[in-house]
Amino acid sequence: MRRPPLAFLAAALVSIAGAPEAAPVPIAEAAALYQRNCAACHGEHGDGESRAKASLSREPRNFTTPEARRDLAREYMIAIVRDGKHEAPMVGRKSRLSEAQMEGIVDFIRAAFMPPEPGSARAHGQEVYQARCRACHGPRGEGGTQHGTMKVPALSRGRARQELTRADMIAALASEKHGSLRGGFRELPPGDREAVVDYIRTTFVEVQR
């Protein structure tokens, strides 16, 4: 008796167990997908301040408000990206994007634009950033300010994300370079350094155009 080919067996197993889950979309790719599919209405920074705002029948959602974090659950957002919203000028993207891409866009919005959950580690990281880092690195990690003879580097560029590991960034806060700035970062507890680095890495991603 001939054995069925391996390809047939694999197909049979998939039909029984279901298709394997797609791998998550990398954050840089999700950022680019947001720019191509969402930014025209919701704005580059998710605040609804877009070129199309004045021509829409309903103002686009501002994702940067506490109300957005409170009212928009992740699964609800994925469903709207997939199917659209009838009472708003929002069309579904299920014919253009895979499920993994739609989930990636939503996760990017929630990480890059929405305020952190109160009391969370990310919220603490944001507090440290606002108090100790924003004056030099800018509200969106864009850098460019002058500190003595040095121009403060941007934290929101792909090069910074690619070249600076989490460990590098935590170590930099305890270095001599940062030690003399704004009261001295070496005095920060290690937990604060880790929290602010994690906030920076999850929030100031490169927004590709």
Specify the number of domains making up the chain: 2
Q: Which residues lie below 8 Å from residue 114, measured CB to CB, with a gap of 6+?
A: 46, 63, 64, 68, 69, 72
* 27 in a structural domain: yes
* 82 in a structural domain: yes
What pLDDT, on the 0 to 100 scale, is given for residue 187? 80
Last residue of a domain, one of 112, 140, 164: 112
What pLDDT, on the 0 to 100 scale, is given for residue 150? 67
* 81 in a structural domain: yes
Could you give the residue ranges of the DSSP H alpha helices within 84-165?
Answer: 99-112, 121-132, 134-137, 158-163
What pLDDT, on the 0 to 100 scale, is given for residue 8? 47
Same domain for 105 and 137:
no
* 17 in a structural domain: no
Helix (H, G, I), strand (E, B) or coil at 151: strand
Give the Cα-Cα-Cα angle 169, 202, 166 (nearest 5 degrees). Answer: 25
Per-residue pLDDT tens, the chain, 209 aa: give them: 455 454 544 454 444 454 456 688 888 889 899 999 999 999 988 999 988 888 888 889 999 999 999 999 999 999 999 999 877 788 899 999 999 999 999 999 998 899 998 999 999 999 999 998 888 888 888 887 766 666 777 887 666 767 788 898 888 888 877 755 555 677 888 899 999 999 988 888 654 43
What pLDDT, on the 0 to 100 scale, is given for residue 125? 94
Same domain for 36 and 81:
yes
Helix axes 121-132, 190-203, angle to 10 degrees: 90
The Cα-based distances of 125 to 119, 129, 146, 187, 199 in angstroms read 10, 6, 24, 16, 5
What CATH number is associated with residue 91?
A: 1.10.760.10
Give the domain extent around 170.
Answer: 121-203
Last residue of a domain, one of 80, 112, 144: 112
Last residue of a domain, one of 87, 112, 137: 112
* 2 in a structural domain: no
* 128 in a structural domain: yes
* 9 in a structural domain: no
Same domain for 189 and 157:
yes
Count of C-beta atoms within a 10 Å radius of residue 83: 13
Same domain for 140 and 79:
no
What pLDDT, on the 0 to 100 scale, is given for residue 147? 64
